[in-house]
Each structure stands twice: as structure tokens, then as C-alpha cells.
A and B are shown apart, each in its own frame.
Chain A
Amino acid sequence: MHIVDGALSSPVLISGAVLSAIGVFIGLKKMDYDHLPLVGVLASVFFIASYIHLPLGFSSVHLIMNGLLGIILGWVAFPALLVALLLQVIFFGFGGLLVLGVNTLNIALPAVLIYYLCYKGVRNDSPKIAAIWGAVGGAGAIFITALMVAFALALSGESFVLAAKAVLPAHIPIMVIEGFVSYAAVYLIHTVKPEFISKGSN
């Protein structure tokens, strides 16, 4: 998931950084100081989620949950994920410093796209329908993320094309799991605290 330093070519690194910076700028514009505690706590929840390892056959995968984060936070997902990834790089060593822009873009842009795609659906009155939209969002975000990772690798050189082709099938099990988990999470939120979904976005 995390691309490491040194693998990507400089044009990819620079364009990733610039696009992420724009996203973060828009996100910061949309977030005022009043929302800081909410955004900070939500970002921490997603940080913790990425350490939930689910077994998959003989190996395990970790949740990403950028789809749900996008549905809840919208553009604010950009700064939230940038900070989360920065902390992961510095204190855990996942990813790299210069690829931070590309990694942020790969995870946050799908989140924003899912926000626009599933915004209405998740706010449906019926918990079942809302949960299905949540599942679509969860799986869809992983799909877009995988596509973008593959794209970033393929653009960086001929020799990475095979690795790029391997990224998509490798993410299919994660997509399925994330879909189910998002379904259950949205369903629960709808039954326990329906006002949260309609409120959390503004």
C-alpha cells in the first residue's frame, strides 16, 4: 500500500505532491477551528483502523477505510490523511518522506470521490440501502486507490509495469473485506445513532 522512497520517478513525485497540496489547501479552507476536535478524533480512529489486521487465509490484511472517512469528512480527508501518514512515516517507518504527497493523493482522492458518489446514498432513510451504499463506498475507494497506486508505479518506468499489474489483483480480497466491514459499520451507525451521518459532514 505504502510506496517507499526512491521507487518513483521525480515527475510523479512532484505532481503527486502538488496535487496533494491543492487537496490539503481545499480541505483546510473547508475546516474551521471549531471542527478541529472532531476531525482530529476521527483521523485518529482511522489511524487505529489501519492497525486492525484481519486474517486472510495464511496471511493478513489491514483495513484502510478511506471510503468511510471520505463519506464522513469530504475534502477534509486530505489534511487528516496527510497528518496520519506523516505520523506513520516518522514514528513507524511506513512509506517514505518524499512520497508522502503521492501516498496522500492515492488514499485521499478516492475518499473525496466516494464522498461525492455516495453522499446521498449513505443518507438514505432505510439502514439497509444506506449500508449497501457504504459497502459500495468502502470497496470502491480501495479499487480507486489500487488503480492510482498502479498508475503511479507504471508512470515511473517500464520496469514497474509488472508490479503495477500485480497491484490490482492483490487488492481484490481487501476490497471484498472492506466492503463487508463498511456495510456493517454504516448499518450499525444508522441504527444506533442516525443523526451522526447527517451531521458529521457539515
Chain B
Amino acid sequence: MSQSLEHSLTSWSGQALKHQNSWIDGIDARVRVVCSTLFALVVVSSHSFTPTLLGLFCAFLLVKASKLNIKRTLRRVVAMDLFMLTLICILPFTTPGDAMFTVFSLTASWQGLLHALLITVKANAVLLVLFSLVATMSASTLGHALAHLKVPDKLVHLMLFMVRYLDVISQEYKKMRRAMQARAFVLRTNRHTWKSIGYLFGMLLIRSVERAERISDAMKCRGFCGRYYLNDEMKIRSIDWIFAIVFISFLILLIGLNIDGLFK
């Protein structure tokens, strides 16, 4: 079981989530990054259910609009929700409040359950918006957008390098794993497994450091003087303005709902 999980996750080619083209792809990358960050800020700092549920609803709309592959998206969200399930199990017992039911003289409270549900809704809303607005662009576009948003240059460079080499390293890793499997190595809970995985990891480190040296030599050969140049001109067009204005007015509505909730 653990093996199938492992392989579904290591195969990442640094590409955007699989999806059909939609109007969201036409919107400027910077606008999408800024909008989803603001969305996360507003939703996470909300106190009541109305704005967060509205946010979740908006997230669903965006997922629909960006034509994400529903099955893949769900798989990612479910992975997180399994974690949330433990939270939903624990929080009712640890939060004082009106009793819902009692198990072994432990009382589950409604307040705790609501709190756990609120966290679940928030986390899901933020993730879905991220998936539909940001994960639909390729990772290198994201890097360029961040660079245009004045994120430190070195950080962006690091990200671009990582995006490029994740796939290479994961192939290297799979190759070594296949070689181990060919020699009938099976993962178990024992010291032999841990030792072998440790050796695998050490070898992976050595090979990748050697690869890094080759990369950097090859890049210097081609006149790399320490930095990439971002040649793409990102221009804000009218559709970007419209999207940004609509999105931000929606966020202001959410903030307004929060303030109303505070005074009740």
C-alpha cells in the first residue's frame, strides 16, 4: 500500500496541474498570485461560518471555472482532509462547552465540533483557491510572477532550479529503487530496510552533488554569470483589472460579514 502511495507522489514533472484551458489561464499570473494570497488572509482570519462558507463556495466556483481535473484535485484535498478528521475527533473533547455526548466520562462539546469544522472549511477553501488560481500555471511562470512581485531574486532562482531538477532527481531515485527491487528488496520495518534506505539516500546526495557540479560547469561554459534574465514582459490588461476588482470586492464583502458577526 505504501508503495503505490510513494509512486503516485514522486512523479512530478514540475508542470501545472492537468486541466483544460479556461479563461483563468488568460489572467495575469501576478494578479492570480496576489488574489489568492489576499483570499487566504481574509478567509483564515474570519471568525464565523458565513464568510468562510461563502469563501468555500467561491473556491468551488473557481475550481469549476478553471476546469481542473476533478478527480486529481479531490485526491489532493482528501489527503489533507484525512488529517483534519483526527482534528475533528480530538477538538470536541478538549474544548469546554455544551455537552454533545459523553464517552468514558469525557464530554464532547458542540463548540469544539464547530471549531474543528470551521478550521476544515477554511483550510479547504484556501487550498481549492490555490489549486485553481496558482497551481494551474506552470511552476516557472509562478517563479517569474514572484520575481515581478519583488520576491528576492535568489529565492526565485532557487525555486526555478528546484522546479527544473525535481524531476531529474526523482528519476534518479526511481532508477535506484528499481535496481533495489530487481534485487528483491522489499520495504519492511527493520534495521536492514533503514540501512538500505540510508545508503540509497546517501548515494542520491552524492550523485546529485556531482550533477550540480556538472550543471554549474556547463552553465558557465555557456556564459552563465550567476543569474537568469526574465525577458517576459508581464502586462496588466483590462480583463486582469476586471478580475482583480471583482475578486477584491468579494473579499471586502467577506470582511464586512465578519465585522457584522463581531457586533452581534
Contacts and interface: CB of A to CB of B under 8 A. Distances in A.
B198 A6 contact: no
B80 A91 contact: no
B53 interface: no
Contacts of B164: 40
Interface residues of B, number: 88
Size band of the interface chain A makes with B: 35 or more
A133 to B, nearest CB: 14
A47 B166 contact: yes
Nearest to B40: A97
Contacts of A37: 161, 212-213, 215-216, 219
Contacts of A83: 155, 158-159, 162
B13 to A, nearest CB: 10
B208 interface: yes
B198 A5 contact: no
B161 A52 contact: no
Contact of A41 (B139, B155, B208): B208
Interface string B201-243: 1111110110111011001000000110000000000000000
Contacts of B3: 53
Contact of B6 (A13, A24, A51, A183): A51
Interface of A: 2, 4-7, 10, 13, 24, 28, 31-34, 36-45, 47-49, 51-57, 60, 63, 65, 68, 72, 79-80, 82-84, 86-87, 89-94, 96-98, 158-163, 166, 177, 180-189, 192-193, 196, 200
* 4 residue pairs, one from A and one from B, having the closest CB atoms: A184-B198, A40-B161, A6-B122, A33-B226
